[in-house]
């Protein structure tokens, strides 16, 4: 839920799919409140640890594996879709993870509350492409959101972006290359054709590839001011 103390942003798309199973409902009622970020207080950043943010984690496959692989790193995850949140909570419970905090809602709220230069990495994987021209203003990659990301990412931090939609890849490249705060890291074609080391393939990506769509993996580095 969006905290009343903060302005409400309009979220587009579905927030709920098929009915949750009983245990998923229990996790939403009991575990999520323990892990949810309290937007009325300073966000729980630990100065001795890196903090990374995943925007729209879907079913949580990547976030779960990343947090399990690097237990000394803290992860914030944002996702408005209740079914994705329930799946992630089940994974957190099953693997006993203690380094993930969550926000069910708009990632922009978290970006607004984070201190300057507080993130060491941001993940944005397979965001909704909003393919219709009249809806493209809803895409997360926008000058406004890039400005917010630039504020909260430290110099040298990576923004990792993946999509299977050619138009969104071109859209993202155009806007990031026009943003002086970021540099595209690619030097060879393999730098955007191959995923990152330790990559976790999601169910969505597997379906996209089975349908003949080839993902691209873009890495942008936060420039020093």
SS3 category, 86: helix
**Predicted confidence band of residue 162 (pLDDT cuts 50, 70, 90):** very high
**Predicted confidence band of residue 12 (pLDDT cuts 50, 70, 90):** very low
Q: Give the residue from 7, 114, 124 showing the smallest Cα distance to 63.
A: 124
Q: What is the CATH number for 49?
A: 3.40.50.150
Residue 40 to residue 219: CA distance in whole angstroms: 32
Instruction: Kindly state the average pLDDT of the residues 58-63.
Output: 94
Report pLDDT for 17.
Answer: 58
Question: Does the residue 2 lie in any domain?
Answer: no
Please check the confidence at residue 11 and state whether its pLDDT lies above 70.
no
Report pLDDT for 5.
Answer: 38
Question: Does the residue 8 lie in any domain?
Answer: no
| Helix residue spans in the chain (DSSP H) | 22-35, 61-69, 82-95, 107-113, 143-152, 166-177, 190-193, 203-210
Question: Does the residue 189 lie in any domain?
Answer: yes
Q: Is 99 left (phi over 0), alpha (psi -120 to 50) or beta?
A: alpha
Question: Does the residue 212 lie in any domain?
Answer: yes
One of 128, 166, 191, 225 is an active-site residue; which one? 128
pTM exceeds cut of 0.95: no
Instruction: Kindly state the average pLDDT of the residues 55-83.
Output: 96
Structural domain for 113, as ranges: 22-222
Report pLDDT for 92.
Answer: 98
For residue 73, give the DSSP letter. Answer: S
Question: Does the residue 142 lie in any domain?
Answer: yes
Provide the number of structural domains found in the chain: 1
Q: In the chain, what is the straight-line distance between the N-terminal and C-terminal CA atoms, in Å? A: 35
pLDDT digits (tens, 9 = 90+) for 187-215: 999 999 999 999 999 888 999 999 999 99
Report pLDDT for 15.
Answer: 52
Report pLDDT for 38.
Answer: 97
Q: For this structure, is 167 an active site residue? A: no
Report pLDDT for 132.
Answer: 83
Residues 6+ apart with CB under 8 A from 45: 51, 74, 114, 115, 118
Report pLDDT for 203.
Answer: 87
Cβ count near 172 (within 10 Å): 24
Question: Does the residue 12 lie in any domain?
Answer: no
Please check the confidence at residue 109 and state whether its pLDDT lies above 60.
yes
**Predicted confidence band of residue 76 (pLDDT cuts 50, 70, 90):** very high
Distances (CA, A) of 104 to 43, 49, 66, 135, 185: 15, 23, 19, 23, 31
């Amino acid at each position: 839920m969006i905290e009343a103390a903060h302005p409400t942003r309009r979220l587009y798309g579905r927030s709920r799919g098929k009915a949750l199973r009983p245990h998923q409902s229990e996790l939403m009622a009991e575990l999520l409140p323990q892990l949810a970020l309290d937007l009325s207080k300073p966000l729980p950043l630990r100065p001795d640890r890196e903090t990374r943010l995943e925007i729209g984690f879907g079913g949580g496959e990547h976030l779960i594996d990343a947090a399990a692989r690097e237990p000394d790193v803290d992860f914030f995850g944002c996702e408005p879709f209740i079914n994705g949140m329930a799946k992630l909570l089940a994974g957190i419970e099953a693997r006993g993870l203690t380094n993930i905090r969550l926000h069910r809602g708009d990632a922009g709220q978290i970006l607004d509350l984070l201190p300057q230069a507080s993130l060491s990495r941001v993940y944005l994987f397979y965001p909704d492409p909003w393919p219709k021209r009249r809806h493209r203003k809803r895409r997360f990659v926008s000058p406004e959101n890039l400005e917010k990301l630039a504020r909260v990412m430290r110099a040298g931090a990576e923004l990792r972006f993946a999509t299977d939609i050619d138009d969104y890849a071109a859209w993202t490249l155009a806007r990031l290359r026009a943003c002086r705060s970021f540099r595209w890291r690619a030097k060879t074609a393999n730098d955007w054709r191959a995923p990152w080391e330790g990559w976790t393939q999601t169910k969505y990506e597997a379906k996209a590839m089975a349908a003949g769509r080839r993902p691209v993996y873009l890495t942008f580095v936060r420039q020093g001011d």
